[in-house]
Amino acid sequence: DTEVTQTPKHLVMGMTNKKSLKCEQHMGHRAMYWYKQKAKKPPELMFVYSYEKLSINESVPSRFSPECPNSSLLNLHLHALQPEDSALYLCASSQGFLAGYEQYFGPGTRLTVT
Amino acid sequence: QQQVKQSPQSLIVQKGGIPIINCAYENTAFDYFPWYQQFPGKGPALLIAIRPDVSEKKEGRFTISFNKSAKQFSLHIMDSQPGDSATYFCAVSRMEYGNKLVFGAGTILRVKS
């Protein structure tokens, strides 16, 4: 099973709402990632967890709060977002955090902030 | 500063043609060069990857050519099919920075039947 699942598929939220995105993998991978992808642009790395610890935060605004409850799950908590945060949010996982490990991407959550 | 420049932005080829997508990078410290394919509504998926000690790698109909001195690498798709129509991203990473990928801008490929 090489699948990364993400829920929900679509999310519409107001600027004062609090919501969460969920990502799950059962491949035994120890590194998990959040990316943001705007339309017709490449994915941009937001956060990396390695062995359930936050390894990289690419200077992401605090209105995005990641959480890794266990080695299979990754959450992204959203609060007080702006319309410019509307994008496709992709989760990925890899066996480890060494360069060269294939990153497996989920289908993404399409987020619209109104 | 763009760490990896990808061209062309879009490409249309006939079925059976050989589309070529190019990427150029500046930092010689990069040591892992993957290509990802993304279909609409899906996440990217790894197609093929190369390390700088190899000049060419083939996997099925996909070939990476790597020119270390020119700091360029390219993707060739042999006998292209309409099902290859997708967006292709090159990426780079450095061993010392772990598995942090920096993506090129992407190329939208359309294969006409």
| Position B48 confidence tier, pLDDT thresholds 50, 70, 90 | very high
**Predicted local confidence at residue A1, as pLDDT:** 63
**Predicted local confidence at residue B43, as pLDDT:** 94
3-state SS class at A48: strand
Contact (Cβ atoms closer than 8 angstroms) between residue A90 and residue A4: no
**Predicted local confidence at residue A70, as pLDDT:** 93
Mean pLDDT across B42-60: 94
Contact (Cβ atoms closer than 8 angstroms) between residue B35 and residue B75: yes
pLDDT at A80 over 90: yes
Strand B62-67 relative to strand B56-59, pairing: antiparallel
More confident residue, A8 or A100: A8
**Predicted local confidence at residue A53, as pLDDT:** 95
Mean pLDDT across B60-81: 97
Q: CB of B105 within 8 Å of any CB in chain A? A: yes
- Interface touch B99/A42, C-beta < 8 Å: no
Mean pLDDT across B8-26: 97
**CB < 8 Å to A103, chain B:** 46, 99, 101
pLDDT at A56 over 80: yes
Query: Which residue of chain A has the CA closest to B105?
Result: A42
- Interface touch B94/A96, C-beta < 8 Å: no
Pick from A74, A90, A105 the residue to mutate for testing the B interface (most B CBs within 10 Å).
A105
What is the CA A27 to chain-centroid distance, rounded? 17
**Predicted local confidence at residue B19, as pLDDT:** 98
Average pLDDT score, chain A:
94
**What are the structure tokens assigned to B66, written together?**
């790597």
Distance (Å, whole) CA A8 – CA A4: 13
**CB < 8 Å to A97, chain B:** 98-99
Mean pLDDT across A85-107: 92
Average pLDDT score, chain B:
94
**Predicted local confidence at residue B96, as pLDDT:** 72
pLDDT digits (tens, 9 = 90+) for A20-48: 999 999 999 999 999 999 999 999 999 99
Mean pLDDT across B6-21: 98
From residue B14, how far is each of A17, A108, B49, B103 by CA, in Å?
48, 31, 25, 27
Contact (Cβ atoms closer than 8 angstroms) between residue B80 and residue B88: no
Distance (Å, whole) CA B19 – CA B17: 6
Distance (Å, whole) CA A43 – CA A59: 15
- Interface touch A50/B105, C-beta < 8 Å: no
C-beta pairs of B58-66 under 8 Å, 24+ apart in sequence: B62/B35, B64/B33, B64/B35, B66/B33
Distance (Å, whole) CA A49 – CA A22: 14
**Predicted local confidence at residue B1, as pLDDT:** 60
pLDDT digits (tens, 9 = 90+) for B78-95: 999 999 999 999 999 987
Q: Which residue has the tokens 């990289």?
A: A56
